[in-house]
């Protein structure tokens, strides 16, 4: 008996063709990717697993299982912010004391302290506006710092910036050169040109008509190149090499009111009493131009002396004192002071601080 393949009863799927089989494979691939996505989206955030599980469970109940008949009391009680962020849970006092997680203050519903100063409330409003335009991501420390500024002002401490304190920033009175090696090397390499430009503007006189600002008796004066984040155009035109050097620095604060740069004079016999700087988000770099041996800088109880052609990197949010105890013939102490970002301030935080402390033009 002769058999032929044509006489065999083939199943229907053999006749589906190549195109139908390809479509089936694509469908299976799509279902596999969707399954992976759902599993990944349900993973808890490290350190917040318990909160996310409880809050997500409450959110699911409030969204799906509460509506009965024609009434839906739970849905009507949800505010707009709750509907947008259903997984946000309240921070506990224990979390706040331990300082767990930078995102905790941002994601909580805790109210801003009522006893905060007008300046702190203004900065908080600016932070909210920034977050609406961009994102809350990375704003945890700034939010926490604004809320805790009131408590900081009441403390007696060796480090107490009077305008803004960024928490959890490692800091010491004097920083090593490696913290800003590139910018320090650029400044020191241009020391001869910077010194020559200072001497040129100093010989014209230190009055206001020559671009100087007198800060007090005994030859305390500053020739600003940047003042509170604003370029002093006339002075920069008089010191083009110094101006170009500033622009070549990677961490120079020139976009907000926390940053300044200029020549600072301190006459013989002058002592600047103990004070705090505005913020711990910056470091001040002092390039010595004329440094008599009788000059001293004490930051956080640590004394240092300037050296001509070399930089000192300090955190002026620590209590600091400056003195020039030399005789009149020793001449003024002269430095180029430049404000640089603290190396521990992240790029997102720098952008937010630029927005919050926009210079008053």
Distance CA 55, CA 286 (A): 51
**Does residue 105 sit in helix, strand or coil?**
helix
Q: What is the pLDDT of residues 235-287, one digit of tens each?
A: 999 999 999 999 999 999 999 999 999 999 999 988 888 889 999 999 999 99
Q: What is the pLDDT of residues 45-75, one digit of tens each?
A: 444 444 434 444 444 434 444 334 434 333 3
Which CATH number is associated with domain 177-344? 2.60.120.330
Name 304's bridge partners.
297
Distance CA 67, CA 73 (A): 7
High-pLDDT (> 70) share of the chain, % = 70
Asked if residue 317 lies in contact with residue 160, where contact means CB atoms within 8 angstroms, the answer is yes
Determine which helix (DSSP H) or strand (DSSP E) holds 99, and give its type and residue range. Answer: none
Distance CA 5, CA 223 (A): 100
**Residues with Cβ within 8 Å of residue 79, at least 6 apart in sequence:** none
Measured N-to-C along each axis, helices 140-153 and 118-133 cross at an angle, to the nearest 10 degrees, of: 180
Determine which helix (DSSP H) or strand (DSSP E) holds 149, and give its type and residue range. Answer: helix 140-153
Burial of 310 (0-12, 13-18, 19+ CB in 10 A): middle
Rounded to 5, what percent of the chain is helix, strand, coil? 45, 20, 40
Asked if residue 338 lies in contact with residue 242, where contact means CB atoms within 8 angstroms, the answer is no
Tell me the pTM: 0.70
Burial of 143 (0-12, 13-18, 19+ CB in 10 A): buried
Q: Parse the chain into domains and list their residue ranges.
A: 177-344
Q: What is the pLDDT of residues 153-187, one digit of tens each?
A: 666 689 989 899 999 999 999 999 999 999 999 99
Between 121-130, 237-246, 336-345, the lowest mean confidence (pLDDT) is in 121-130
């Amino acid at each position: 008996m002769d058999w032929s393949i044509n006489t065999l009863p083939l199943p229907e799927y053999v006749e589906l063709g190549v195109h139908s089989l390809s479509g089936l494979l694509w469908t299976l691939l799509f279902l596999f990717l969707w399954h992976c996505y759902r599993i990944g989206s349900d993973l808890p955030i490290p350190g917040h697993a318990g909160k996310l599980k409880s809050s997500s469970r409450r959110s699911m109940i409030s969204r799906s299982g509460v509506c009965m008949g024609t009434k839906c009391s739970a849905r009507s009680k949800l505010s707009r912010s709750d509907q947008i962020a259903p997984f946000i849970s309240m921070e506990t006092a224990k979390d706040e004391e331990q300082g767990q997680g930078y995102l905790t203050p941002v994601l909580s519903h805790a109210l801003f302290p009522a006893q905060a100063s007008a300046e702190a409330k203004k900065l908080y409003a600016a932070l909210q506006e920034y977050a609406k335009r961009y994102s809350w991501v990375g704003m945890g420390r700034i939010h926490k710092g604004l809320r805790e500024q009131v408590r900081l002002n009441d403390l007696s401490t060796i480090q107490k910036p009077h305008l803004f304190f960024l928490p959890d920033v490692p800091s010491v009175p004097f920083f090593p050169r490696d913290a800003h090696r590139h910018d320090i090397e650029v400044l020191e390499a241009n020391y001869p040109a910077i010194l020559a430009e200072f001497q040129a503007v100093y010989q014209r006189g230190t009055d206001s008509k020559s671009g100087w600002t007198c800060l007090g008796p005994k030859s305390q004066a500053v020739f600003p190149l940047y003042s509170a984040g604003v370029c002093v155009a006339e002075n920069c035109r008089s010191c083009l090499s110094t101006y170009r050097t500033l622009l070549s620095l990677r961490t120079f604060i020139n976009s907000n009111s926390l940053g300044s740069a200029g020549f600072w004079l301190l006459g013989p016999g002058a002592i600047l009493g103990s004070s705090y700087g505005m913020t711990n988000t910056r470091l001040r770099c002092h390039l010595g131009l004329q440094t008599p041996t009788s000059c001293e800088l004490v930051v956080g109880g640590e004394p240092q002396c300037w050296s001509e052609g070399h930089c000192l990197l300090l955190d002026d949010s620590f209590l600091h004192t400056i003195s020039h105890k030399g005789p009149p013939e020793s001449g003024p102490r002269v430095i180029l002071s430049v404000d640089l970002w603290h190396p521990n301030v992240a790029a997102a935080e720098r952008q937010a601080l630029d927005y919050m402390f926009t210079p008053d033009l």
